[in-house]
């Protein structure tokens, strides 16, 4: 279902191995592991991998963000020419002048006319 939802819209999702690994690690943390079986996490990550255009991890991303571990996301977005970074991370959302800009999932869905 996830694959159909992502591919049936008018946007292209990009990912890299580091991002996919971060998604998998997050979904295996206690909050999610109490709610999702390991097989479900594997299926979700596989669906994201299939639905997204997967490119190589950015190498030596420049320091931009307060949390240096997220600098790869900005480098990835610039590398692929993304219009926006869709995230719930407050550091990215609140970073002034970030290019491309960070937007939350609700704003992304609104821009795709998936929500009113």
> Nearest CA to 22 among 66, 100, 84, 76?
76
**Tokens of residue 101, six digits:** 């800009």
Q: What is the pLDDT of residues 54-69, one digit of tens each?
A: 999 999 999 999 999 9
116/109 Cα distance (integer angstroms): 9
116/111 Cα distance (integer angstroms): 9
pTM of the shown model: 0.84
DSSP string, 18-83: HHHHHHHHHHTSHHHHTTS-HHHHHHHHHHHHHHSEE-PPPSSPPP-SSSGGGHHHHHHHHHHT-S
Q: What is the pLDDT of residues 7-54, one digit of tens each?
A: 566 678 999 999 999 999 999 999 999 999 999 999 999 999 998 999
């Amino acid at each position: 279902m996830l694959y159909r939802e992502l591919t049936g819209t008018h946007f292209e999702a990009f990912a890299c191995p580091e991002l996919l690994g971060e998604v998998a690690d997050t979904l295996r943390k206690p909050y999610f592991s109490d709610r999702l079986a390991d097989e479900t996490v594997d299926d979700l990550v596989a669906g994201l991998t299939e639905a997204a255009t997967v490119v190589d991890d950015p190498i030596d991303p420049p320091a931009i963000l307060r949390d240096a571990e997220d600098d790869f996301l900005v480098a990835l977005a610039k590398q692929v020419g993304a219009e926006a970074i869709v995230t719930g991370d407050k550091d990215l959302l609140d970073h002034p002048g970030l290019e491309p800009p960070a937007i939350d999932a609700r704003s992304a869905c609104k821009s795709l006319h998936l929500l009113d």
